[in-house]
Amino acid sequence: MPYGQLFEVLIFKIIIMKSTALSTCRLALTSLFLLALNLFAFAQDKIEIDKQEVGNWFQRNWIWVAAGAVVLVLIIALSGRSKTQRKITTVTKDDMGNVKRVVTTEERS
């Protein structure tokens, strides 16, 4: 067998045969994954909600819900105040660079 044909056969085996094996493996893993999802969904098919238990939760914890709402309203109300004061500091220096005077004024708007 000449080297050219040997090279072509090796390339064929590497590319085609390995890609076929990889695609078969991917197909098998995808099938298993979908089967697992189906089994999980089937296992959760019978779900019952007890309406009495849900109502009891609200009856037991209404004070916590009301307190949380009051705290949120207070936080929003107190953080809504904008501080309209602005401080301006003026530094006066002499020719040598020494500080002669510092004046801080508050401006309200």
pLDDT value, residue 1: 52
pLDDT value, residue 72: 92
Confirm if 92 and 101 have CB atoms less than 8 A apart. yes
How many helices and strands (H and E) does the chain possess?
3, 2
84: which residues sit within 8 A by CB, 6+ positions away? 108, 109
Hey, which residues does 93 pair with through a beta bridge?
99
Query: In the chain, which residues have pLDDT < 50?
Result: none
